[in-house]
Amino acid sequence: MLKLNAPVLTAQNERRNTISAKAYQELREAIITARVLPGASLAETDVAQAMGISRTPVREAFTRLFDEGLIEISPQTGTRVSLIDMTRVREAVFIRSTLESAVIANSGVHPDPGTLDEIELSLRAQERLVDSDDMGALHRADMAFHSGLTAAFAHPRAWAACQHVSADMMRVQFLIGMKPDHIRSIIAEHRAILDEVRAGKTGEAARLMASHIRNVDFDQATLKREHQEFFRAGDGL
């Protein structure tokens, strides 16, 4: 019978893993919210200095970002933020609109009011951020709404799957520019979805969720006209 020893994690290793995870989250958010643009160069030394950490956790963060397709690492050109792949965007729209709406329509779960009240808090956070330049906080509030709903309907792993494919789709929205009117539109759609869930009208809530996610298709036209340099060649742009 195969026997495996439990891994031994020293305090130093645990601290490094925590720093690496934090570096990954901060870099990922910066890329998704377009504070670091597609095609931009990233150097381990520069990032480490900016974050006040060593190069090792930055290197580990780069590995995770590479696995997610958000950066490219080449001996010739170094490390760069990946250009947006429109095929991945279209796939993400399909996967998320299908999966998130199905979670609401087919789970058979009736979320308790307290759980929905917690989701309400993410909506209020978004409302407070309408006129803010804090795109990171806005992104986190938006993700809290979607992850909160999938968890409320007892499918938290569905959100993990959605998040895994969503990076390029979310970059499209932030590259367009999250203007106050656009943010208000997103919040209004979130509000309508939550109201239908509270009313027990899961079929209508599911329809609104699918439409809400597919709205990114309309955003693509503007971005393709004005910022083709952010996209991979050969994507039908």
**Higher pLDDT pick, 3 / 201:** 201
Confidence of residue 1 (pLDDT cuts 50, 70, 90): very low
- Write down the pLDDT at residue 177: 67
Q: pTM value?
A: 0.81
Instruction: Give the up-direction half-sphere exposure of residue 201: CA atoms within 13 A in the CB hemisphere.
Output: 11
Q: Which residues contact 114 (CB under 8 A, 6 or more apart)?
A: none
The structure tokens listed for 51 are 């974050």
Confidence of residue 75 (pLDDT cuts 50, 70, 90): confident
- Write down the pLDDT at residue 64: 93
Residues in the chain: 237
Q: How far apart are CA 107 and CA 115, in angstroms?
A: 16
The answer on pLDDT for 204 being more than 80 is yes
> Cα–Cα distances in Å, from 153 out to 101, 111, 122?
11, 6, 17
> Cα–Cα distances in Å, from 201 out to 111, 153, 204?
12, 13, 6
Q: What mean pLDDT comes out for the span 60-81?
A: 92
Are 186 and 127 contacting, i.e. CB atoms less than 8 angstroms apart? no
pLDDT digits (tens, 9 = 90+) for 157-199: 999 999 889 899 889 888 876 778 888 999 999 999 999 999 9
- Write down the pLDDT at residue 2: 47
The answer on pLDDT for 6 being more than 70 is no
